[in-house]
Amino acid sequence: MRVATQKLTSQFPLPLLGNNSESKLPESDLNQICQLIIQQLTALLPTVAIWTVYHDLAKGKRHLVAEYLSENLCSVQVTPACLPSYFVSGQSNLDFTSLQAETWWREDFPVLKIMELAASDFYHSYVCRISKQSVTTAEYLLICTSKLLSDEQQNLLLNNAQILSNYLAMYRERSHQQQEIAALSQALGQAEHQLRNPLALINLYAENLRLALPQGDLQEQASLIRQTVDELSAKLTDLLYRGQQANLNFKKHNLQTIIGECIKNLQHLLKEKELKINYPEKPVYVTVDNWQMKQVFDNLLSNAIYFSPRGGTITCNWYAYSNEVLIEICDRGSGIVPEELKQIFKPYYSRRLGGTGLGLAIAQKIILAHQGNLWAENLPEGGAQFSFTLPHKRQK
């Protein structure tokens, strides 16, 4: 028995994607999932050969993960020069060549439905399409068996195809998010040049005022302007250059302390709408960049405040597991319509009147840099919930 991973050359032209290193994802994880599913099906079904084909977004090519069981091959001896490189050495069946060439593929194949192919007199062949991608990026799970599969065995095959399909969708969505975050980083870099000069000018004028004014309240206010400009400049630098994981200042912090400091900064908004924020009394320590994590809580809490009804309560909970901490922030507003849920983390998309559309995109960028995930959903009882995970025991 041998597991092989090969690039698949198809009869269809394959589109190439831009080679952007920031948008690359852990394709090895997807490859591993494919291998695990194939190995499980091989152990449970009378498998002769099995493979899955998916589109590698990082490289812009289709990828094949395959397993061939030499002990189950009812094969004929062929000339080694005629063998594809991913077949068991010295033996094969020419029917595989036809299957690998994908001459049987039809664009109208339904997604997640087992189809039997009349491709061989030696084996029974079943295929399940695992995505809605176009014919040029056909993705599927195919198995050749020595016996007809029963309904129960076909259901087993379908369930594993469903798992693979779900993982592909997650892989594709994560890639899309990374590309948007890369675009956001580029936009922030361009904004730096538009902000640095005005900040420097304000700082200079504030210093001139401080020197010209007599000692007293006015001079203190001019000094405060300078101090605020310096803080804004430092935060701008953090925002632009410390979002990369290698440059984050990771230290152990108590979530209670972080959210408590954020609530202090939001007191004027809370008093205006007569809101209160509840959070657990039990401390939980996580290894994070303190300033970056405050930005995440500031964005999520300010959103919850904006959409909460007057006199309501915003709830923050966290749950510590063996490998991660789950944080949930819930409001009692009107919730998020399904169309907005799909776009809520896109840069420049905002549900708030006058909003920049950058807050949630930046929060997601920070959480991803911390090896976590951020998502939104509606609560059954009403309102919206934003959840994110953070590693509980960070790997070195």
Mean pLDDT per block of 10 residues along the chain (396 residues) reads: 38 32 51 90 93 82 81 41 34 61 88 90 91 76 94 96 91 79 71 76 89 88 86 71 61 95 90 95 92 92 94 95 94 90 82 76 89 94 94 63
Task: Say what the pLDDT of residue 59 is.
Answer: 75
| 17: nearest Cα among 57, 63, 55 | 57
- pLDDT of 330: 96
Query: Tokens standing for 62?
Result: 């289709």
Type of residue found at 61:
K
Q: What residues pair up with 330 in beta bridges, in sequence order? A: 315, 385
What residues form DSSP beta bridges with 91?
77
Instruction: Report the predicted TM-score, pTM, of the whole model to 2 decimal places.
Output: 0.48
Residue 296 CA to residue 277 CA, distance in Å, equals 16
- What's the count of helices (H) and strands (E) in the chain, helices before strands? 9, 15
Distance CA 52, CA 127 (A): 9
Class of domain 246-396: alpha beta
All structural domains of the chain with their residue ranges? 2-178, 246-396
Cβ atoms of 58 and 25 within 8 Å: the answer is yes
Q: What are phi and psi of 218, to 5 degrees?
A: -65, -40
Say whether 326 sits in a helix, a strand or coil.
strand
CB 288 within 8 A of CB 370: yes
Q: According to the CATH classification, is domain 2-178 in 3.30.70? A: no
